[in-house]
């Protein structure tokens, strides 16, 4: 087969997904199906307090499975937390990792799995396809509607020595089973609902314009964008409404399937740098950066962005071509403002003197490889500056 045809090949990876209200209660049955007898349950203090991890533990015990909980995890999971979790897995002779929570517990759980079977330290596995051996079985239960770590081949870990977020991208970290229960998101406060919803929107946008996109990823990304524009504001204003929570969880799932297989772009590269260096919330960073990135990328993916604009309800065809990029970016800005994300990076402590280092980190991030526009550190620094 010639190289041109090979370049155009696409693959699509996904776990077994059980979607719907009450799917969390099936955790013990699926763990048993995976042959588990001793489970490491990875979560965080907030999820423990909300009771979701406890319900999963009960389900495990009803199926005769011992549970050992590890919840010492930061909002941006650290490398040393991964190593501590791996030690706990080994100490208790576990044979399955169950993650209950948002992106932080799920990414940490993936890192634990990598270290348990591959050895060394987690930072050795940065990059694409650097994980040589399969990880232990993974069963993930998301409790936020945005990160999509439950269906993706990405794990994002903070390297504390270098103050950077590293991306581990490998089919080895795709969970075996994802139990996606929208009821778990009813305990999210409005700020987290907004930030994770905008994170999902950014996943869908970047996957849709990625140079590695395909009809399968486009279908998922476009479905997510329409769901988010139709439901995010409603979900933020009516936090316990199961209908809005269901739509937003489905949007998160679809966006996750899209970006896991098409990868991401400059927004995530820049957000990872902000998270690693400044320890800022990932979803909020994406929300603040997306609009300027649309304007930056638009000349190199105009037809794709215009298709997304139509899904957002914009009358793009009636807009002069010179104004279409601004119309799309402004619509994203209105959504962001409507859910209360109104700060700028400068309000979060980012200063001009930080930009060269942040830009260099973003330039080295693997997410930049599939951005529709090639970039250099100077252009990335200029994008950061527009958001100060």
Strand order in the sheet with 127-128: 127-128, 164-169, 154-159
* pLDDT digit string, tens, across residues 272-317: 999 988 889 899 999 999 999 999 999 999 999 999 999 999 999 9
Q: What is the reported pLDDT for 299?
A: 97
- Does the domain at residues 188-386 carry the CATH identifier 1.20.1090.10? yes
pLDDT of amino acid 356: 96
Q: 8-185: which CATH number, 2.40.40.20, 3.40.250.10, 3.40.50.300, 3.40.50.1970?
A: 3.40.50.1970
CB of 9 within 8 A of CB of 66? no
Domain spans, the chain: 8-185, 188-386
Cβ neighbours around 261 below 10 Å, total: 24
One DSSP character per residue, 264-329 reads --HHHHHHHHHHHHH---HHHHHHHHHHHHHHHHGGGSHHHHHHHHHHTT--GGGS-GGGHHHHHH
User: Are the beta carbons of 43 and 69 closer than 8 angstroms?
Assistant: yes
Per-residue tens of pLDDT for the chain, all 388 residues: 454 544 678 889 999 999 999 999 999 999 999 999 999 999 999 999 999 999 999 999 999 999 999 999 998 899 999 999 999 999 999 999 999 999 999 999 999 999 999 999 999 999 999 999 999 999 999 999 999 999 999 999 999 999 989 999 999 999 999 999 999 999 999 999 999 999 999 999 999 999 999 999 999 999 999 999 999 999 999 999 999 999 999 999 999 999 999 999 999 999 999 998 888 989 999 999 999 999 999 999 999 999 999 999 999 999 998 999 999 999 999 999 999 999 999 999 999 999 999 999 999 999 999 999 999 999 999 999 999 9
Task: Give one word for 126, left, alpha or beta, with left for phi > 0 and alpha for psi -120 to 50.
Answer: beta
> What SS3 class is residue 179?
strand
Residue 232 to residue 219: CA distance in whole angstroms: 20
Distance CA 24, CA 142 (A): 9
The pLDDT assigned to 352 comes to 96
> CB–CB of 110/67 below 8 Å?
no
Tokens of 255: 């966006």
- Give me the pLDDT at residue 10, please: 87
The answer to whether residues 112 and 85 touch, using CB atoms and an 8 Å cutoff, is: yes
Q: Which two tokens stand for residue 79?
A: 């490398």
Phi, psi of 379 (to 5 degrees): -65, -40
Residues 6+ positions from 339 with CB-CB distance below 8 Å: 190, 193, 194, 197, 198, 232, 233, 236
Task: Look at residue 167 in the predicted model and tell me its pLDDT.
Answer: 93
Looking at residue 334, its pLDDT comes to 97
Confidence at residue 306, expressed as pLDDT on a 0 to 100 scale: 97
Torsion of Cα atoms, 291 then 275 then 342 then 146, to 10°: 70
Calculate the alpha carbon distances from 87 to 68, 111, 120, 165 in Å: 12, 12, 12, 22
Unique residue bearing structure tokens 């799920």: 106
Q: Say what the pTM is.
A: 0.95
Half-sphere exposure of 73 (CA within 13 A, CB side): 33
Which tokens belong to 39? 């489970």
Does residue 249 contact residue 20 with C-beta atoms inside 8 Å? no
Q: Give CA separation, 101 vs 57, 79, 296, 364, in Å.
A: 13, 18, 34, 29
Which class for 133: exposed (0-12), middle (13-18), buried (19 or more C-beta within 10 A)?
exposed
Which pLDDT tens digit goes with each residue over 28-37? 999 999 999 9
pLDDT at 8 (0 to 100): 74
What pLDDT does 5 receive?
47
Q: How far is CA 252 from the centre of its chain?
A: 9
DSSP class of 185:
G
């Amino acid at each position: 087969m010639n190289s041109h045809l090979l370049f155009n090949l696409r693959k699509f990876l996904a776990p077994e997904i059980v979607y719907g209200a009450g799917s969390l209660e099936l955790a013990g049955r699926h763990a048993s199906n995976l042959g588990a007898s001793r489970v490491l349950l990875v979560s965080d203090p907030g999820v423990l307090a909300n009771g979701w991890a406890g319900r999963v533990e009960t389900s495990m015990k009803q199926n005769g499975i011992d549970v050992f909980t590890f919840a010492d995890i930061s909002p941006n999971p650290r490398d040393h937390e991964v190593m501590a979790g791996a030690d706990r897995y080994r100490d208790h002779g576990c044979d399955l990792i169950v993650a209950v929570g948002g992106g932080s517990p799920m990414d940490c759980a993936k890192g634990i799995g990598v270290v348990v079977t591959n050895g060394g330290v987690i930072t050795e596995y940065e990059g694409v396809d650097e994980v040589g051996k399969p990880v232990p079985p993974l069963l993930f239960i998301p409790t936020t509607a945005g990160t999509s770590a439950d269906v993706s081949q990405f794990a994002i870990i903070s390297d504390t020595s270098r103050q950077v977020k590293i991306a581990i991208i490998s089919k080895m970290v795709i969970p075996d089973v994802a139990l996606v229960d929208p009821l778990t998101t009813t305990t999210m406060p409005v700020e987290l609902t907004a930030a994770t919803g905008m994170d999902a929107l950014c996943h869908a946008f970047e996957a849709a314009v990625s140079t590695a996109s395909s009809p399968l990823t486009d279908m998922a990304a476009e479905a997510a964008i329409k769901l988010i524009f139709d439901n995010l504001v409603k979900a933020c204003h009516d936090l316990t409404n199961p209908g809005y929570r269901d739509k937003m969880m489905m949007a998160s799932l679809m966006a996750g399937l899209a970006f896991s297989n098409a990868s991401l772009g400059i927004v995530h590269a820049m957000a990872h740098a902000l998270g690693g260096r400044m320890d800022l919330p990932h979803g909020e960073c994406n929300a603040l950066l997306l609009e300027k990135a649309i304007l930056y990328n638009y000349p190199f993916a105009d037809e794709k962005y215009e298709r997304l604009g139509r899904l957002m309800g914009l009358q793009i065809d009636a807009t002069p071509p010179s104004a279409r990029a601004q119309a799309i970016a402004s619509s994203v800005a209105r959504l962001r403002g409507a859910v209360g994300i109104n700060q700028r990076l400068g309000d979060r402590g980012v200063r001009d003197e930080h930009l060269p280092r942040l830009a260099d980190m973003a330039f080295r991030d693997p997410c930049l490889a599939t951005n529709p526009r090639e970039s250099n550190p100077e252009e990335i620094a200029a994008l950061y500056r527009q958001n100060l």
